[in-house]
Structure 1
């Protein structure tokens, strides 16, 4: 007797999708849009298709006990204490977990000093952080990958409007009358370079020179860089720090030099992390959690539109606004204004 039960090929043909897409839609795997998943399952129900449980487990990799699909967060950072020292990474993980919800997919975090060359057990997809363009392209060719911050051409990425953030920081310092401005910029990554470009463009337009020191998004390097700036110009009256961790090093150097923050030297950071709020630091806020969540959603469903630049916004606090003697309040805490339209760490 011939078995006339509908097959997965019948379902795929009727739904107008490939066998692979039909399989993923039926198995609850990732990589198809919700619309495709709904259409395939509706067709399957109409045809009376019933997937074989064992075949489904094998197709999704769940036949082995405890095996789940996973997304790897690959962080290139030589600092062994980076995960605790840099709030950015914790915010990334928060956003990633929000996007995954209870979908049954594991999140694996891997911090490395040098990029791994082997890929014996590749994950379902990778979220790349600080991975340079060529390496990012290589990972994208191996499988699904989305970078936080601009990467090589052809590699999907999600990033805040860093250029606008740098622009806002510089405009604030110029508008408050700061004349001897220094900056501790970040490493040669796209996100750091975008912040630098936005900041310097405004300063050039205001015909103001900037004393520049290179940083690496660590407190120790920022502390040394701020000391270098003060040695070059003891009358420095403002410093832009390319991230909030960098700003902590700048603040330490200023305190040790006897310079009063805001009254003598204004300080503006970048990230808008909990560090900024705790230190009463003016800082450009970037929505890191939303950035990571958007990247994860794009990994799960690549047919989604390419993510747009996320807006940044400067929040002014006491570190950049001089206060009259005797006042105990923390000064203005309102944003300076909306970020300009689209121009990582």
Structure 2
């Protein structure tokens, strides 16, 4: 180390972990695996690291001229009201906060489109709704993980969307619905997987589906449902690819004088608080666990990538 005092930053860099993870490993705190703890302590011993007050301040961000290390949650969503209108993002934050504890800062950035430059890269990034090629470009700049399948080579955490769509389709067929419609999502991997799982069941059953394209917003789902009703006046079931979309579906059906469940069954996807409040049948996905697992993998890339998280249909009075 050329004679200068070894810092916690040196240890973290040599061990390939964040300073927060290095601090936890050295202090015996919760939040790192035993393998990381052993690796960090071995590196510290090899480098001759001795903890002192300044190093502890750098690790926790207290009274230092340096910026506190941070994880950036980068959300691509053109809706300026997305953070308040879509419970999914609040659930992501809840899970991410479980993983970082108090040692790292979380920075949330919502953009309508990905910025061209990256002047101040964070320690790690959690990508949401980032297209595959762009995700690969961000991955080359530093530690990156995506919620949902991204480009080849980009680590990701995702629920079993295909199975969720499959469960929704099986349920609607089992309840005897004959004229089934669907409001799918935008062309993203998670929406495509839900669509594929739903349509595979319908195709196997030789059951036609009236399809309207959505974008995970209530307003578009409302218009899409009106389109479905115009095309298929006998419509008796709708699968909405997210709970926010389901709210628009319910609104349009009620305005058209259709009784929910009696006339038209509705199934959503997310299992958010919206579904509970609306008594909506919905495919639950563990978003908080998904985000927590993603951030933990950012902090310790040596951890094995988590498998697909299970999805489960919760049947309520809407179907």
Q: Same fold (TM over 0.5)?
A: yes
Question: Greater CA deviation, 20-29 or 266-275?
Answer: 20-29
Q: Work out whether 1:210 is the aligned partner of 2:204.
A: no
CA distance in 2 between counterparts of 1:22 and 1:82 reads 35
- Match for residue 228 of structure 2? 229
Is the CA contact (8 Å cut-off) linking 1:95 and 1:291 kept in structure 2? yes
Equivalent position of 1:303 in the other structure: 302
Q: Which residue of 2 aligns with 1:182?
A: 181
- Give me the whole-angstrom Cα distance separating, in 2, the residues matched to 1:58 and 1:208: 61
TM-score, normalised relative to structure 1: 0.82
Cα deviations by residue, 1:281-301 (Å, 9 ceiling, x for unpaired): 000000000000000000000
Could you say which residue in structure 2 is the equivalent of 1:127?
126
Shift of 1:38: 3.1
* Gapped regions of structure 1 (runs ≥ 5): 321-345
Determine the structure 1 residue equivalent to 2:28.
none
Q: Is the 1:24–1:32 contact (alpha carbons within 8 Å) kept by the matching residues of 2? A: no
Task: Write the deviation string for residues 74-109 of structure 1: whole angstroms up to 9, x where unpaired.
Answer: 00000000000000000000110011123x100000
Say what the alpha-carbon RMSD is for the aligned residues. Answer: 3.0
- Residue in 1 that maps onto 2:67: 67
Preserved CA contact (<8 Å) 1:269 1:282: yes
Alpha-carbon distance in 2 for matches of 1:127, 1:288: 13
Instruction: Name the structure 2 match of 1:330.
Output: none
Match of 1:332 in 2: none
What corresponds to 2:14 in structure 1? 20
Shift of 1:55: 7.3
Tell me, in whole angstroms, the C-alpha distance in 2 between the residues paired with 1:130 and 1:229.
27
Task: Report the TM-score when normalising by structure 2.
Answer: 0.88
1:64 Cα offset (Å): 3.9
Report the count of equivalent residues: 309
- Verify the 8 A CA contact 2:270 2:284 in the aligned structure 1: yes
Q: Where do residues 317-328 of structure 1 align in structure 2 (5 Å cutoff)?
A: 317-320=316-319
Aligned partners of 2:47, 2:219: CA distance in 1, in Å? 65
Structure 1 residues 289 and 36, CA gap change in structure 2 (3 angstroms): closer
**CA deviation after TM superposition for structure 1 residue 34, in Å:** 3.9
Mark the runs of 5 or more structure 2 residues left unpaired by the alignment: 26-30
How big is the shift at 1:59? 9.4
Equivalent in the alignment of 2:255 = 256
Contact 1:77 1:113 in 2 (8 A): yes
The residue number in structure 2 matching 1:243 is 242
Secondary structure, aligned partner of 2:94? helix
